[in-house]
Amino acid sequence: MEGGQQQGVVKHVLLAKFKDDVSPEKAEELIRGYAALVPLIEPMKAFHWGKDVSIQNKHQGFTHVFESTFENVEGIAEYVSHPVHVEFSSNFLPALEKVIVIDYKPTPA
Amino acid sequence: MEGGQQQGVVKHVLLAKFKDDVSPEKAEELIRGYAALVPLIEPMKAFHWGKDVSIQNKHQGFTHVFESTFENVEGIAEYVSHPVHVEFSSNFLPALEKVIVIDYKPTPA
């Protein structure tokens, strides 16, 4: 299992900038909703997020990074089309001024 | 030490799109140069990268993700100004059509 994860793990990275009219409380609520997907969507194995703390000013206005972990690309496809993700996205995406979503299989250490 | 890492770890995420005239061989050479920074820059604790495998078409043309891990934001400042990083960047950045760099402290699991 552990070996399988090492081989197949795929990171799903979402960079977001919330709209200016989204309050910090609303943003927090949306982020809690994102985290709440983990126990509901089987292929979603882990979730971490954080606010931008960049010092180089190359972040192009993005304010948050969200990183989810999946065992494979098929798991991401299942996640994307899962009803609770679809419902979450319909609330989350309209709150964003801009968003980039990119998936990659990280090299081993 | 382990506890300190948990508390203070900062992820340094670089999204890149190589210019069309950069050959795959040249890109690989540049990526090897990126990975070679780890043993040379003390605060750079880990490095992983991968090519875009997105299925949602929200990656806005970015083709590669590079993720480095630092113990804290001060470590990133030391990395950014380190002579071998400055030298590497002077080769790497001109090969990119676009780039986003964002740092964040991921929430615990």
ipTM: 0.91
Query: Does the beta-carbon distance from A49 to B100 stay under 8 Å?
Result: no
Alpha-carbon distance B27 to B6, whole Å?
33
User: Residue B65's closest CA among A50, A39, A97, A65?
Assistant: A65
Neighbour-count burial for A71-106, b at 16+ CB within 10 Å, e otherwise: bbbebbebbeebeebeebeeebeebbeebbbbbbbb
Per-residue pLDDT of chain B (109 residues), as tens digits, is 343 344 669 999 999 999 999 999 999 999 999 999 999 999 999 999 999 999 999 999 999 999 999 999 999 999 999 999 999 999 999 999 999 999 999 998 6
B79: annotated active-site residue? yes
User: Residue B31's closest CA among B8, B14, B54?
Assistant: B14
A100 chain-B contacts, CB cut-off 8 A: 15, 58-60, 62, 100
- What crossing angle do the helices spanning A83-92 and A73-81 adopt, rounded to 10°? 70
Low-confidence residues of chain A: pLDDT under 70:
1-8, 109
- A39 vs B: CB within 8 A: no
Neighbour-count burial for B42-73, b at 16+ CB within 10 Å, e otherwise: ebbeebbbbebbbeeeebbebbbbbbbbbbbb
Per-residue confidence (pLDDT) for residue B5, from 0 to 100: 41
Residues A103, A13 contacting (CB under 8 angstroms):
yes
Dig out the tokens for B92 from the structure: 């790497």
The length of chain A, given as a count of residues: 109
Exposure of B61 in the CB half-sphere (CA atoms within 13 A): 9
Domain B18-101: which CATH number of 3.40.50.9100, 3.30.70.100, 3.40.1650.10, 3.20.20.80: 3.30.70.100
User: Residue B61's closest CA among A102, A105, A61?
Assistant: A102
Query: Does the beta-carbon distance from A58 to B105 stay under 8 Å?
Result: no
Query: Between vectors from CA A49 to CA A46 and to CA A53, what angle results, nearest 5°?
Result: 150
- A73 vs B: CB within 8 A: yes
Per-residue confidence (pLDDT) for residue A108, from 0 to 100: 85
Query: Does the beta-carbon distance from A49 to B107 stay under 8 Å?
Result: yes
User: Residue A51's closest CA among A61, A37, A36?
Assistant: A61
Per-residue confidence (pLDDT) for residue B7, from 0 to 100: 62
B10 chain-A contacts, CB cut-off 8 A: 53
A59 chain-B contacts, CB cut-off 8 A: 100-103
pTM of the model: 0.92
Query: Nearest-CA residue of chain A relative to B93?
Result: A58
